[in-house]
Amino acid sequence: MTRLERHWFQPTWWMTALLALPEGLFALLAALRRTAYRQGWCRANHLPVPVVVIGNINVGGVGKTPLTLALLQDFARLDVPVGVISRGYGGTHRQPTLVTPHSTAAEVGDEPLLLAASGAPVVVGRDRVAAGRHLLALYPQTRFILSDDGLQHYALCRTLEIVVLDGNRGVGNGHLLPNGPLREPVSRLAAADALVINGESCTGLRLPLSVPQFRQRLQAGDFVHAAGQLPPRTAAAFAGQRVVAMAGIGHPERFFRTLCELGVELAATHAFPDHHQFVAADLPQDADAVIVTAKDAVKLQCINHARLWVLPVSARLEPDLAAWILSQLERKNGRKIS
């Protein structure tokens, strides 16, 4: 964690003062941009089907990907055809691109690969409106679209906004970039249709009572051998081995803490920037086992998997968010979605 990131969650008065001016400029630009779309000065585009944005007001990992995966699984069980559009951070694509089994993280980004493994169609694109149109052209039976991230992508009109918050870290010091971790002020939460709190608490944050709240809990499964050559194992199976954990996600400390809570004794941890493109040299050579997240595993497919293990996690939501989304879409559109 850099000094700036530490300031976001353990603020110092002198950095707060030093960064006040750039924060003010960021706040002004962000407010002008949102006002431009709200007043119609910049054009916002509608898609032929409802759009549900799953986003956040702060930078860093908050648990959106497990949430989106859980929703895709719920909608599949309900036999509701749903598609996903994503920015595809870290990918080299230029035009809207369908994620296929032959796609790589270098081409389409890591999170879209993970989402596409659910079986739902996923299209990545810098222009989410174009990505949505491309998805509908390929899959016209799609009832509605989930936008992975994109809360601040106001060029795309949305039917519902679901904002995810990290229950442990909340909104940090409450300041906007670069003085804090926020892309938009805390007051933006009141305009959302629903809030999902990932974790047990929200560090004293007073959330708007008028917005429905859902609780997300992440449940770890058994460790899976990346090469598929060995059966799944529990944490106890790593006893006596030199185990190293690697993570290139928004909040790697949460992953390392989870491993320790499961009983894995870690000899070392290696944190990389979010969306880091791994190379063979990143893998420690002195480890008996290297444990990574499912999101990172899709970026390690071309590297020797003999010592690689993956910790899959699944999201549990209370109350039923998928059912709530369907009811809201049916109410807003005046017709049955499922």
Block mean pLDDT (10 aa), the chain, length 338: 90 96 96 94 96 94 93 97 93 92 92 95 96 98 95 96 93 95 96 93 78 95 93 96 94 93 96 89 92 93 84 95 97 78
Q: What is the pLDDT of residue 304?
A: 67
| DSSP element (H, E) containing 62 | none
Angle at 236 between CA 234 and CA 239, to 5 degrees: 135
Annotated binding-site positions for ATP: 58-65
Tell me, what amino acid is at 93?
A: H
Q: What is the pLDDT of residue 180?
A: 96
CB 167 within 8 A of CB 63: no
Annotated binding-site positions: 58-65
Token pair for 150: 């994109």
Q: What is the pLDDT of residue 141?
A: 97
In the block, residue with structure tokens 């890591």: 110
Q: What is the pLDDT of residue 176?
A: 97
Helix (H) and strand (E) counts for the chain?
10, 14
Edge to edge, the sheet with strand 266-271 lists 224-225, 308-311, 289-293, 243-247, 266-271
Pairing of strands 160-166, 194-198: parallel
Nearest Cα neighbor of 74 from 255, 296, 319, 297 is 319
Nearest Cα neighbor of 159 from 193, 201, 184 is 193
Q: Find all residues with CB under 8 Å of 221, minimum gap 6, and list them.
A: 232, 311, 312, 313, 314
Span 92-150, pLDDT tens digits: 888 999 999 999 998 999 999 999 999 999 999 999 999 999 999 999 999 999 999 89
